[in-house]
Copies of this chain bind each other. A is one copy, B any other.
């Protein structure tokens, strides 16, 4: 099969969704994207791992970066895609193959854009930050990411979402003493010990805070728990992996201190951190984009590579089809109307 970038947008979207691309398995989809963009005369295409970058070189003043990740979280019996009225359901429909399909269609259509454009389709966004291919590319090919403004086509319900929350993961470990479970009084059960950790999480009341005119809402969640080595052994270790999503007014020191405070008395090890990004909507180039696409900007809750571009000095916003609240849900979907809204907005801005 191959992707038809100039045909029906919904057909293209479903084709992209139906090529399963759970993090680590982006290869087949990246192959199709590379092949399709390679056939577009006005684009220069490069490939690095499973990331595909296509650029115009019209010589226009200024360059915008439009990026989307190819990977999804694990499939939950929700592939292939399913059309139901005005929605397409399936893994990746919300996060974020709608944005990928719109970007692919616009990349083919915008043969003479009013600014030069760098289109980026990348891998390993849904996993630890150090695996994210943009980490490698920022180190090895920083010029590929250079630009005056960036749009991340993460799901925003087709309105502009400014900034993003930061994210960190930590492991809270409880320890005990191993023993045969038939004589459990000789040991100390580390899993039972984790009751207090889970209680604190269940009782946690996340903060809401206004930053740069937008309201951010935090969250502290166990995303994994594991313990036990055999069915007849009192376990001596239990590990709760916690994900803290924090507003962009916190830096790393503040975010980690907050977690240490919540889990005071327990062993806490930080395993992953990605900073938030303040909205940045006061910048002229951001205001120009907002004016072109319309709507009232709001806060971005999910961590996105907006923060990465922000760190590289490239102002960036989120703008893409589908309700971000459906990202990763088993019943995630994309309203077909959002695909056209986003496509038309990009064409209006850049044609």
Contact = CB atoms under 8 A, between A and B. Distances in A.
Given A189-B201, A222-B192, A224-B235, A178 B328 contact: yes
A232 interface: yes
Contacts of A182: 165, 167, 219, 245, 301-303, 324, 327
A271 to B, nearest CB: 9
5 contacts: A167-B232, A181-B219, A182-B301, A195-B199, A195-B202
A251 to B, nearest CB: 18
A218 to B, nearest CB: 9
B219 A223 contact: no
A183 B219 contact: yes
Given A126-B230, A181-B245, A195-B201, 12 more contacts: A178-B330, A180-B302, A182-B245, A182-B324, A184-B219, A191-B222, A195-B195, A195-B198, A223-B228, A230-B328, A231-B241, A233-B328
Nearest to A76: B178
A189 B225 CA distance: 12
Tell which of A272, A301, A330 has the most Cβ of chain B within 10 Å: A301
A111 interface: no
Contact of A221 (B189, B272, B303): B189
A232 B223 CA distance: 7
Given A192-B198, A225-B194, A180 B328 contact: yes
A2 interface: no
A303 to B, nearest CB: 6
A235 B128 CA distance: 17
Contacts of A74: 229-230
Contacts of A95: 180
A217 interface: yes
Contacts of A228: 222-225, 241
